[in-house]
Amino acid sequence: MEEYLREVRTQPLLLVSLLGATALQPKLTEALHDAAIAACGAKRTKYLSSTYDMRILPAKRGGRDSPGYRVEGILKRRWLEKLCSGIPAVLVLCVDWSEDLRQPEQEESQVLHYLQHARRQAKERDLRLLIFIVLHESTADPEASCAFLRNQPEFPGLVVAMGTSDLSMKAPKLERLIYQSAMSFYADEEKRLRKPWSPKVPVSAAAQTAMQVRMQFKVAFLNEFRKDVRAALTAYIKAYELLLIDSDIIDPIERMDLCNHITIRMYERYFASHDVGAAVHHCRIHTSSIRKCAADEDELVWRKWRWLSLNHVIFGDFLDTMSQKAPMLIDQNDIWQFPGFHYQAAASYARRLREWALRCLEPGHLPPCSEQGGELRPSPFLGQAGVLERPNEVEAPAREVVLRLAHAEAKLCTDHADRSLKLLIRSQAAAKERGYKAWITASQARVAEAYLCEPGSGHQEAARNLFERLRQMPAPSWPSLQRFSLERSLLCCITALGLPVPTLCSSTRAVPASTSADMEAEVSPSQDLATLRRSLVQDAFEYLKLAETAVSDNQSQAEELLSLVASAAKDEEAGSIEVQLAQCQVTWDGSPADPDAFHVVFGALELPIGLDLSSCSASTTSGDVPLTVDAAEGQSWQAWQPLQLRGSLPGVAAAVTTVRLTWASAASVVFLGTCEPKPPSATDLISDAGRYSGFPAFNLADGTLNAKQVSQEGVRKPSEVRIKLQSETVFPVEPVAGLVSECFMFYVVIYVAPERSPVGSCQLNLACHPRFSEDLDETIPAHLADRPSGLRVDLIKAPIATKPWELEPLDTSGSNIVVADFSKEGLKASGFLSLGGEELAAAPLRLRACSPGAHYIALPLAVRCGHACGVSIGIGIQQVGGDAEAQCWTPQMRFKHAVKLHVTEERLVAAMLAQKPVSFSLRGQLATAVETVKAEVQFTPEGAEGERTAACLGKMGQMQPGSSHAFLWPVETGLILKSRPRLRIGFQRHKALQAFFPWKDMTSDWPSNPLPAAVVEWLLPAPTSTAVSAQAMQVELQVNSTGTVGVPLAVHVRLKDARFVDHEIKIRVLQGEGEVPDRYLLSGPVCYQAACLTSDDPNNVIPRFSLIPLKTGWLSLPRVQVTWGSQDATSTPSSVFIVPARPALARSLA
């Protein structure tokens, strides 16, 4: 938009000049703007400040009717400047007599002199003239004071104000007169311009068309002043069509530039009228017109790219603004109504402009300019290229101007590149607002390409990071984009390392010219060469694994790339670059002859060429183990062929984690294989009866799973300890009696029965996975598929005497944790609280009778849920290094809220505003008794950085079902909250230890309440600083609706929504407001201060006042202003009807 005149870029406003009284003009201008906003919702006038002796240049009209008139251009720049900033439509003569009550005669004669001068200036251009005079506020007869003005011939409009305080009352009338006068001025100007041109000598048709275009543009612009949108658009369309139809009227550059200016005004009018479809239609037409306008010569073609880019940017800005204000008017299915499309198109044209500039900077592409003729100055006509200061010195002045402008544009090559990059970023931001994922990805690729085309190490590094991000995108939907991103990532790394660019980097798109320049430059010392080489190696092998690339059918390009990678990786340490190549399967022989032997099998090598390997090894929990290639000559892995390795791993319960293959061409490159067990046969699979989401298949009847086990430590060697596992869950408290946020306890009983005499020991892992079945919280939407936030499952660490218990969180995503050790001495917990066989003698264990001779222990698990819901938990027990496993389900646990908050929002808000203590109560709503531990309020005062905590007053202790306990929050004096406070209540189940451990001897040294207390929170509906500021104090006057002449009328002042902020209240009765004081007498204080304590009601300390009516009819009461600290309010206007007095009363008054 900055390329065009300011008068065209902005909406034209009515132009008015205020003459004289410069000290009064700022207040008057502000009052007039406020009046305009109250009338139409926006400012509609621009006010100029002038002195009494201001002069307006006389109009030069009739020049076009002279015989020698020649059309040199369509529209002068000076015409727009004069209309928008120079020639006002209305002159307002301001007279300030507010200081003195009586004015001498010389002042009146001086005002008449100013009036005559203003009339002469207005007559020069048929301007409108108004008078605004400010008299002293105590002037008795304003009409008489202004009589000398009303007696003047051709009397203009006059507005009189009584003092500066009366400006706000008289401003609406003056603003209305100004608006009406300005409308009539612009209407007369339009009529004058519409007169047909009748030259005295014959002129060409092109000159007639040029004058028609000038007239239509000026008429349209004047209609914009008058807010006549339809007439303005009609005239703009006629001017635009005339410029396109008759291409011989003026120079093509001037003709198209005028079309650009007209288009901007049409966009403004269309979007202001919410006609997006018409704006899009004209945008299509104008874009097509620009593409056909300029020739392909180097000195002219740059204008086409520049105009196209600006056109799309401007239209995209209008669309972006409209989508923010009225998104329903935008058609989501029309790509031309998407701002990101226009920003992207503008960026592509800016890129074309940059390419033109780079080409013209080379010698021989653009003819040089002679640099004669002086400086280049802007042309007086809109759209023309410019004029030379001394055109007589040059043989062809027009071509010299064209060449100078072209050379100046070519020097802005860097600016064009930056502009293109910024537009691409805006296009990506617009796509993010609409959620266009494909557009976002494409925009990222274009931004990365834009950085890559710019020379310099900084741009190259930014491009490499962006292409690396594109390459790492999960599951790309465009294979071509993945291939292009890898090629560009390889190109960036190769360029940064100073290596020759391979052929495959230009298979999808040509290599930018800036890349060659960066290759010739020295490698920057600030770059991390090790990271670049690592990225180069990893990207190269990932590119070779793609299905459809340049190296798929051309093996020579693959060899060229691998040779380049090998030369770059030789400078790194051995084994420092790891490449994730494929997965491998690990199997164990288990034969008596060699029980430690295992085999590693890789699938087919998905590379176009084979790999020579120097060494192979396996990383295990016992160290590195060498591997050998089975049935092959040499250490090589052929393309599209599997690879079989063999090794030996001694030791008990050892595991194979990864397989490492070292590349023979570069010892620093190591290919990694992720280990996985061999899939079991169909006979080894168990029934799907126990399958559920997120958990392995298992038997609900606590059977065992005989399958090879994969842990986080790799593929383990089969264990020599053969055991049978079983498990069950026991609930000391009914599962449906859980409380929200409490540590609800249940037991997992583990049974271990050895199948043969153990020769060693083993460990047992425990894992859990929840499944939510229903949501019992009415305030939270139902979501049954996944687990919500707030669920936590904990194991209890071995307790320490007289200290609260420490909880060990158990991951609910299925991860394992070692919980027990089994050996020939028996089954013991690994650092966690457990109950043995003697302590479980009275427990109802179902599997105890079915497993004679088995060792068993019970592990307590604590479940905490943050909101009311129903949940079941799957428990899995696994043998570490073995194949024994047992799984079971818990019954459904239902968590409900134990206590309910009772508070009245109105009373709480009133107490907060009055700075009084806030009361609330808690009620037990379940059949379970609880014990309250703490009650506190967390709040953030206005202006404070962190939260503060205040303890609530009330008795803590046991709360029986259905009972209520009252609490009090003592609010600090003058507290203003930044956000809503939170009430936190801590409680525990009554006798929780005896309830959850009914079979445990309670004479132990456990503390009385070892478990963490449950905590629930509520947001209190207390008013924050925003709400307090929005709820401002109000002043009301309480008085009878009728009164009698001569009878005192009592008026009571009442405050509403007032906050105590100070001990002093200031009251003032505004006697200048309302009726003239001769209609009533005032009795009582009119300006005073009242003292108010914290405990006092402010309405009781404000005294009343009385009015004695003197005349019948409607009596407007004086307004009352109350100031209390930072609160300030004035009563609204009100009136009372006064009836005549009774005869007896009238005679007594007489």
Residue 1006 has pLDDT above 80, yes or no: no
Please list, in sequence order, all residues whose beta carbon lies within 8 angstroms of the beta carbon of residue 863, skipping any fewer than 6 positions away.
738, 743, 744, 745, 746, 791, 792, 793, 871, 873, 893
Whole-angstrom distance, CA of residue 954 vs CA of residue 951: 9
Phi and psi at 675, nearest 5°, equal: -85, 140
Phi and psi at 130, nearest 5°, equal: -130, 160
Residue 918: in which H helix or E strand, if any? strand 918-924
Cβ proximity of 738 and 830 under 8 Å: no
**Sign of the dihedral defined by the CA atoms of residues 353, 359, 362, 367, in that order:** negative
Residue 603 has pLDDT above 70, yes or no: yes
Q: Closest Cα partner for 280 from 199, 334, 353, 344?
A: 334
Whole-angstrom distance, CA of residue 572 vs CA of residue 510: 31
Q: What single-letter amino acid sits at 225?
A: F
Q: What is the DSSP letter of 411?
A: T
Cβ proximity of 293 and 305 under 8 Å: no
138-186 pLDDT, tens digit each: 888 888 888 888 777 777 789 999 988 889 899 999 999 999 999 999 9
Q: Return the pLDDT at 234.
A: 93
> Is 990 strand, coil or helix?
coil
Q: Which two tokens stand for residue 696?
A: 């392995």
Please list, in sequence order, all residues whose beta carbon lies within 8 angstroms of the beta carbon of residue 48, skipping any fewer than 6 positions away.
15, 16, 17, 18, 88
Q: Return the pLDDT at 691.
A: 31
Q: Closest Cα partner for 1045 from 1146, 1144, 1150?
A: 1146
DSSP H helix total and E strand total for the chain? 26, 49
Residue 936 has pLDDT above 90, yes or no: yes
Please give the average per-residue pLDDT across 6-12, as a whole number. 85
Q: Return the pLDDT at 184.
A: 93
In this prediction, residue 71 has a pLDDT band, given cuts at 50, 70 and 90, of confident
Q: Return the pLDDT at 1095.
A: 67
814-861 pLDDT, tens digit each: 778 889 988 878 888 888 988 887 888 888 888 887 777 788 899 999
Q: Return the pLDDT at 563.
A: 87
Distance of CA 865 to the CA centre of its chain: 32
357-411 pLDDT, tens digit each: 888 888 878 888 888 888 888 888 888 888 888 888 888 888 888 888 888 888 8
Q: Closest Cα partner for 740 from 701, 767, 780?
A: 780
**Helix, strand, coil fractions of the chain, as percent rounded to 5:** 35, 25, 40
How many other CB atoms sit within 10 Å of the CB of residue 912?
25
In this prediction, residue 63 has a pLDDT band, given cuts at 50, 70 and 90, of low
Residue 1116 has pLDDT above 90, yes or no: no
Q: How far is CA 103 from CA 92, 95, 151, 287, in A?
A: 21, 12, 18, 66
In this prediction, residue 517 has a pLDDT band, given cuts at 50, 70 and 90, of very low
Residue 1147 has pLDDT above 70, yes or no: no
**Strand blocks (E) in 589-668:** 597-602, 611-620, 623-626, 628-629, 636-637, 643-648, 655-663
Whole-angstrom distance, CA of residue 448 vs CA of residue 452: 6
Question: Where in the chain are all domains bearing CATH 2.60.40.10?
Answer: 1032-1149
Q: Return the pLDDT at 565.
A: 87
DSSP 750-819: EEEEESS--SS-EEEEEEEEEEEEEE--TTS----SSPPTT-EEEEEBPP-TTSPPPEEEE-TTS--EEE
Mean confidence (pLDDT) of the chain: 81
Burial (0-12, 13-18, 19+ Cβ within 10 Å), 598: buried
Phi and psi at 828, nearest 5°, equal: -135, 150
How many other CB atoms sit within 10 Å of the CB of residue 571?
12
What is the pTM (predicted TM-score) of this model?
Answer: 0.60
Q: Which of 249-258, 695-704, 1023-1032, 1033-1042 has the lowest mean pLDDT?
A: 695-704
Q: Return the pLDDT at 349.
A: 92
Q: Return the pLDDT at 99.
A: 84
In this prediction, residue 337 has a pLDDT band, given cuts at 50, 70 and 90, of very high
Q: Which two tokens stand for residue 971?
A: 């609010």
Whole-angstrom distance, CA of residue 1059 vs CA of residue 635: 87
Over pLDDT 90: what percentage of the chain? 18
Residue 949: in which H helix or E strand, if any? strand 948-951
Residue 289 has pLDDT above 80, yes or no: yes
Q: Return the pLDDT at 789.
A: 52
Query: Which has more confidence, 216 or 686?
Result: 216
Residue with tokens 């990365």: 448
Q: How far is CA 70 from CA 64, 66, 206, in A?
A: 8, 9, 11
Whole-angstrom distance, CA of residue 37 vs CA of residue 26: 17
Buried b (16+ CB within 10 A) or exposed e, 348-358: bbbbbbbbbbb
Residue 679 has pLDDT above 70, yes or no: no
Instruction: Give CATH superfamily name and number for 1032-1149.
Output: Immunoglobulins (2.60.40.10)
Highest mean pLDDT among 716-725, 757-766, 830-839: 830-839
Query: Which has more confidence, 521 or 1139?
Result: 1139
Cβ proximity of 717 and 651 under 8 Å: yes
Residue 511 has pLDDT above 80, yes or no: no
Cβ proximity of 71 and 211 under 8 Å: yes
1028-1079 pLDDT, tens digit each: 554 567 888 889 889 998 889 999 888 887 776 667 888 888 875 444 556 8
Please list, in sequence order, all residues whose beta carbon lies within 8 angstroms of the beta carbon of residue 761, skipping any fewer than 6 positions away.
721, 821, 822, 823, 824
Q: Which two tokens stand for residue 604?
A: 């087919």
Q: How far is CA 977 from CA 948, 1020, 1059, 1062, 1119, in A?
A: 11, 12, 13, 18, 33
Residue 787 has pLDDT above 60, yes or no: no
Please give the average per-residue pLDDT across 721-731, as a whole number. 86
Over pLDDT 70: what percentage of the chain? 85
In this prediction, residue 760 has a pLDDT band, given cuts at 50, 70 and 90, of low
The third-level CATH classification (topology) of the domain covering 577-677 is Immunoglobulin-like (2.60.40)
CATH number of 6-192: 3.40.50.300
**Which CATH architecture group holds 899-1025?**
Sandwich (2.60)
Residue 779 has pLDDT above 60, yes or no: no
Q: How far is CA 773 from CA 14, 400, 746, in A?
A: 68, 82, 19
Q: Closest Cα partner for 861 from 828, 890, 841, 886?
A: 890
Q: Return the pLDDT at 1085.
A: 81
Residue 796 has pLDDT above 50, yes or no: yes
Cβ proximity of 827 and 895 under 8 Å: no
Question: Where in the chain are all domains bearing CATH 3.40.50.300?
Answer: 6-192
Phi and psi at 1076, nearest 5°, equal: -65, 135
Highest mean pLDDT among 118-132, 189-203, 777-791: 118-132
In this prediction, residue 718 has a pLDDT band, given cuts at 50, 70 and 90, of low
263-273 pLDDT, tens digit each: 999 999 999 99
Buried b (16+ CB within 10 A) or exposed e, 628-646: ebeeeeebebeeeeebebe
Residue 206 CA neighbour count, 13 Å, CB half: 11
Q: Which of 113-122, 449-458, 775-784, 1047-1056 has the lowest mean pLDDT?
A: 775-784
Q: Which two tokens stand for residue 1007?
A: 């503390």
Burial (0-12, 13-18, 19+ Cβ within 10 Å), 955: exposed
Query: Which has more confidence, 765 or 693?
Result: 765
In this prediction, residue 45 has a pLDDT band, given cuts at 50, 70 and 90, of very high
Q: Closest Cα partner for 889 from 695, 738, 736?
A: 695
Distance of CA 63 to the CA centre of its chain: 58
